Every structure is written in structure tokens, then in C-alpha cells.
């Protein structure tokens, strides 16, 4: 069941991720301690002011054919067709910057159309309590102005990555609770998706029983605080992926972390497991988890178009490709969304510096069949 991990390494500026820092904070990519792939995290600049909201297109209506026998009948009311909400694309990212800076590069059109133009998650990976509310608000207000749904990733849990390559986060759980309080103040009142702390549940075996219980209590609190601040927030908890813990064990961990009171679970962040495998796995986890029937799952499809490498390679493995486009309309029961949580083209540390945008890697992912 082991699949070697990619490390989360924080470096410099840019992606669809957001932080207080513009300086390097990370180290080299490293191998796994547990057997999961984790996202390579880089930090983005403070986002530009919200773009003007696009003009809404007319909502189609359905007109019934007149009855041949009831020529004087009153007209049937127009039936509005419900539209699936659209995800928000953060304008500042390494890939978007590269495309703008290299209009004559023969790879630019493919990378721009297939990666840069897709909505992706915005990460908040540094511990900066004084700035976090305003930075979250900058993203949520920009998304609201466009009538779109942002995907936010709080990533500051203490003992992050079990002391591995992306170690860091808040100094302790009390400080983390305060950071979450500030994060919540930036949510606004619209619909948002929150991918709460990748690896925080599936990777918790590195903690002592007491520390694990304390972390899970803090995660449960985080879910309550975020939802109370914005009833439109959809909070998802870490379910690892289909090649990691068995569904029953993962569900037991999620239950302790308060996932039954959230919107559901997320899986496959920065991994390569096929969408079909993740759908089956997530449904098994949800069944074992119990809780309301409304609980669903979201899947990171950013790099899983060809599935996981047979040899277990984790660091920018060859032959991978982008997966299904991000959407809130999956057509699958209990699968709420396909998301790009890790932006394709950001290296795991082999094709380029960890967390950096690597054009050759992005092009391979976008053009591979």
C-alpha cells in the first residue's frame, strides 16, 4: 500500500497559492516517511484587485408546446434551469506569469490553454496571523465579484509534514486556533471550498496518541469556526488517497477529527491515483465514516490523467498527464467536485527546484496522451 511521497517544499513567489512571504523558506525535496504524495507548496503574491464581474448570460427557459385541446389555457410559467456554479481562477500564478512572459514560446499556447486558464486552489501556507484575514479576504472578494467559487487551502497546522521537508506551520495548537480565527474573518459570506490542512489526518501516525488527539480536536474546532463565520463555506477533511490507509481506518481518523460535521472529505492531493479509484475509495470512506447523507468528497485531478506510475515513482514521474478539468458538476453521486489542488507544472523537485514552475514539465503534462 506504499506509494513514495513528494515533499511539500515552500519556495519563493507564485502559483495559485498565497502567503505572507516572498522569500524562500523551504529545502530540498525528500522521500516519504509514511507513504503518500503531498503537494509541493509555493507562495503567491498578494492578488491583484478583483476583476469586473462578467456579464451574466440569459438563463434559458423551457416553453411547453400548446395543448391542442386547451386553446384558451393560461401560459405555463417559465421554468428556470439551475446552473452549476463556476470555480474561481486566481490571476497570480507561476504558470500564468510564464505564459505572459513567453508569448513566442511554441509551448505557450498549450500550457496556457490547458493549465494556466484552469481554476486552481489558493494556498495559505505561512503562519502570519496579522495578515491572514486580509489575504483571505482579497481572494474571496475577488471571487465574489466574479460570481465564482474559490478553493482555499489553509496549511499551517503545527508539526506539519511530521518534521519533513515542508515542516513549519504554527508554533503550537493555541496559536493555530488563533490563526484559524483570523482566517475565518476573511471568508466573507459567499460560497467557498476549504481544503483543510492536507496530510493533517492521514499522516497523523507520526504523532503521539495525546498529540494526535489534540490535533484532531483543533481540526474539529477549525471546521466549526470556519462554518460559523461563513455558512456558505464547504469544509473538506483530509482522506489521503486510495493507495494509503484502508477506508475503515481512514474513516475512524476522520471521525475523530470532526469530519462528520463538515461537507465531507478530500483525496489525492498532489497524487496520481486515477479518478475512478478515488471515487470508489472515497465512497467507501464515506460509508464507513457515517454521518449525514449529505457528506461528499472532492478529488484532486490535476495530474492523474494516466494514473499512478507502476514503479511507485513520486518525484515528477515521466508519462503522467493532467486529469479532468476542475468542475463542481461531476455527475457522480457523493463526488462534489474535481479540483486542481496542486497546479500542474510545479515541480516535485526533480525536473526543477521543488515548488518552482518548470515549463518542460508543464508541457509534458499538458500534451501527453
Catalytic residue IDs: 161, 199, 348
C-alpha cell at 155: 496549511
Beta strands 79-80 and 61-62: pairing type? antiparallel
C-alpha cell at 297: 468528497
Q: Which of 19, 21, 39 is nearest to 90 (CA)?
A: 19
Distance CA 164, CA 111 (A): 31
Task: Decide: helix, strand or coil at residue 352.
Answer: coil
Distance of CA 63 to the CA centre of its chain: 40
Q: Which residues are bridge partners to 237 per DSSP?
A: 196, 265
Element (H or E) spanning 228, and its range?
Answer: helix 209-229
Helix runs in the chain, H state only: 94-101, 108-111, 129-145, 173-185, 209-229, 247-256, 275-289, 359-367
Distance of CA 184 to the CA centre of its chain: 17
Other CB atoms within a 10 A radius of the CB of residue 85 amount to 15
User: Which residues, including other chains, have CB under 8 Å from residue 15's CB and lie 6 or more apart?
Assistant: 42, 43, 44, 93, 94, 95, 120, 123, 343, 346, 355, 357
Q: What is the CA radius of gyration of the chain?
A: 21
Amino acid at each position: 500500500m506504499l506509494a513514495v511521497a513528494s515533499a511539500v517544499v515552500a519556495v519563493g513567489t507564485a502559483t495559485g497559492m498565497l502567503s505572507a512571504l516572498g522569500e524562500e523558506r523551504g529545502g530540498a525535496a525528500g522521500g516519504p516517511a509514511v507513504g503518500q504524495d503531498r503537494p509541493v507548496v509555493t507562495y503567491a503574491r498578494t492578488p491583484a484587485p478583483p476583476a469586473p464581474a462578467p456579464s451574466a448570460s440569459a438563463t434559458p427557459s423551457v416553453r411547453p408546446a400548446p395543448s391542442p385541446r386547451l386553446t384558451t389555457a393560461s401560459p405555463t410559467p417559465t421554468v428556470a434551469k439551475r446552473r452549476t456554479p463556476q470555480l474561481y481562477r486566481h490571476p497570480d500564478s507561476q504558470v500564468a506569469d510564464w505564459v505572459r512572459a513567453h508569448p513566442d514560446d511554441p509551448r505557450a499556447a498549450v500550457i496556457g490553454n490547458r493549465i494556466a486558464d484552469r481554476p486552481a486552489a489558493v494556498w495559505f501556507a505561512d503562519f502570519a496571523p496579522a495578515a491572514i484575514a486580509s489575504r483571505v479576504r482579497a481572494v474571496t472578494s475577488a471571487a465574489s465579484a466574479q460570481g465564482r467559487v474559490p478553493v482555499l487551502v489553509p496549511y499551517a497546522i503545527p508539526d506539519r509534514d511530521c518534521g519533513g521537508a515542508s515542516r513549519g506551520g504554527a508554533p503550537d495548537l493555541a496559536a493555530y486556533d488563533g490563526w484559524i480565527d483570523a482566517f475565518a474573518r476573511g471568508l466573507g459570506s459567499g460560497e467557498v471550498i476549504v481544503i483543510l490542512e492536507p496530510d493533517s489526518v492521514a499522516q497523523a501516525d507520526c504523532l503521539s496518541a495525546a498529540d494526535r488527539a489534540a490535533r484532531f480536536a483543533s481540526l474539529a474546532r477549525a471546521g466549526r469556526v470556519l462554518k460559523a463565520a461563513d455558512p456558505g463555506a464547504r469544509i473538506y477533511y483530509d482522506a489521503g488517497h486510495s493507495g494509503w490507509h484502508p477506508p475503515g481506518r481512514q474513516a475512524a481518523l476522520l471521525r475523530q477529527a470532526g469530519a462528520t460535521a463538515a461537507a465531507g472529505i478530500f483525496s489525492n492531493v498532489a497524487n496520481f491515483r486515477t479518478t475512478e479509484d478515488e471515487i470508489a475509495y472515497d465512497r467507501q470512506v464515506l460509508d464507513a465514516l457515517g454521518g449525514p447523507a449529505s457528506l461528499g468528497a472532492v478529488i484532486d485531478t490535476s495530474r492523474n490523467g494516466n494514473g499512478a506510475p507502476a514503479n511507485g515513482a513520486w518525484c515528477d514521474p515521466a508519462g503522467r498527464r493532467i486529469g479532468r478539468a476542475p468542475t463542481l458538476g461531476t455527475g457522480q453521486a457523493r463526488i462534489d467536485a474535481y479540483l486542481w489542488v496542486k497546479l500542474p507544472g510545479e515541480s516535485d523537485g526533480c525536473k526543477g527546484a521543488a515548488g518552482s514552475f518548470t515549463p518542460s514539465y508543464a508541457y509534458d503534462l499538458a500534451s501527453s496522451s
